[in-house]
Amino acid sequence: MGALDDTIVAVSTAAGRAAIAVVRLSGPRSHDIARRCLTRFPETSRVAVLSDVRDPLTGAVVDRAVVTRYDAPLSFTGEDAVEVSGHGGLLSPAAVTALLIREGARQADPGEFTRRALLNGKLDLLQAEAIASVVDARTEAARRAALHHADGGTSRQILALRDTIIELEALLAYDIDFPEEDDGPVAPERVERTLALARDQVGALLRNVRVGEVVREGAVVVLAGPPNAGKSSLFNALLGVDRAIVHETPGTTRDAIDAVIEASRWPLRLVDTAGLRESDDDVERTGVEVSRRYLAGAHVVVVCGVTQAEIQFAQRAIRTISPAPQVAVATKRDIAPGELVAGAVAVSAHRREGLSALLDEIERVLDEQYGSLEPDAPVLTRARHQAALTEAARELDAFAAAWSSREIPATVAAVPLRGAVHALEALVGVVDVEDVLSRVFSSFCVGK
């Protein structure tokens, strides 16, 4: 990562054919560099003007763009900045960037704009990560969670936990400062209440870490059952498009097909699998093995069958492969309406009947596993988040053990609390942890 007093430049929009591309310039010399390359430059901050981008050496026009000026600290990075919104594509933004580099700017490193925003106090580390998470979001729930991070909602909850632990440290300080008083000036019950609150807070955050993978990638919902049980028709009906081949010949599906849909609360990664049966066909046997692998990693298994006997047989077979909860579905109700299947959701993919009831049941099962997914829940989606919260929980457990023994001096018992605070501060970037910052921003695109 280059020096913080450099003026940096990069294209901040996606590469490729587009109407507009934005070239972002930030740093102490950004206004001077931009002025040399523009026929018009805004006289005040947050004002946009139309200008030619012109090579000051040759006078050649490189592009025509809308130019916006930002004065520190009222910019994304907290520095003087300029945004040049010119023509899209590959050549024009590259030419503008090359001109600004020649005039004294440096090509920005990945994530350097966001890193400067962090270091200048414009946002914290979780909010910085949220920018990349919004861009990378593959599900609507992941996008909502990232926006919650970007708004600072998750940071506020983590800092509230940090404040609780700091309060606990303050209570312990009385024992250290006033050792001659019986039990210290603070009742042990108050320490225990504050400790219980901290453990509840970190426990709630850790529970949401389990939800993070589901939110980011979608809950894996595997459609399984015997051949010709209507799995592919159901898959297509839930998707609203024909992705899987549908044919009355058993064993038509030879491989797993997956797609993500958004239910009312949870993102679902539906997987249509080959029918479970013994077969002499090598290709079909391979498909069944793929089905078994998906079943082993499923969050929910939708067991499909036309009759009660089919469903029950499939349920028993699947339990030997997957511990995931099952949702039984009686398929083909348009052609087999007579037989009632106890405990199963009745579905007709052809008539699109029962689909809403099936999605409701899948979401009910997910709610039981992970808790109801609320729009403003602090969903933590990265391994770094889990590691920091796990460390904080471990340090709280260590303090609880030391405190309950009553034989360890308060000065020693309080040491794990400082470790918990440090873990949380590294999570939100309150402390300058250089290696953490480098890992976070290395995954960003250059213009962010």
Q: Tell me if 139 sits within 8 A of 218, measured CB to CB.
A: yes
Based on DSSP, count helices (H) and strands (E) in the chain, helices before strands: 15, 12
Mean pLDDT confidence for 45-70:
96
The per-residue pLDDT for 53 is 97
pLDDT tens-digit map of 145-169: 777 767 777 888 898 999 999 988 8
In this prediction, residue 173 has a pLDDT band, given cuts at 50, 70 and 90, of confident
pLDDT above 60 for 215: yes
Of 124, 145, 143, 121, the residue nearest 134 (C-alpha): 143
Q: How far is CA 253 from the centre of its chain?
A: 32
The reply to whether domains 8-123 and 135-214+382-429 share a CATH topology is no
Q: Which of 18-27, 45-54, 123-132 has the lowest mean pLDDT?
A: 123-132
Q: Which of 68-77, 214-223, 337-346, 391-400 has the lowest mean pLDDT?
A: 337-346
Strand order in the sheet with 267-272: 257-262, 267-272, 219-224, 300-305, 326-330, 345-346
In this prediction, residue 267 has a pLDDT band, given cuts at 50, 70 and 90, of confident
CATH, domain range 135-214+382-429: 1.20.120.430
Angle ∠(190,194,198) on CA atoms, nearest 5: 170
Average pLDDT value over all residues in the chain = 83
More confident site: 180 or 19: 19
Mean pLDDT confidence for 295-323:
91
CATH number (3.40.190.10, 3.40.50.300, 3.40.50.620, 3.30.1360.120) of 8-123 reads 3.30.1360.120
Q: So where are the chain's domains?
A: 8-123, 135-214+382-429, 218-370
pLDDT tens-digit map of 190-203: 889 999 999 999 99
The per-residue pLDDT for 247 is 37
The per-residue pLDDT for 258 is 86
Does CATH place domain 218-370 in 3.40.50.300? yes
Buried b (16+ CB within 10 A) or exposed e, 291-329: bbebbeebbbbbbbbbbbebbbbbbebbeebbebebbbb
Question: How big is the chain, counted in residues?
Answer: 448
Distance in angstroms (rounded) separating the CA atoms of residues 198 and 398: 13
Residue with tokens 């926006």: 147
In this prediction, residue 80 has a pLDDT band, given cuts at 50, 70 and 90, of very high
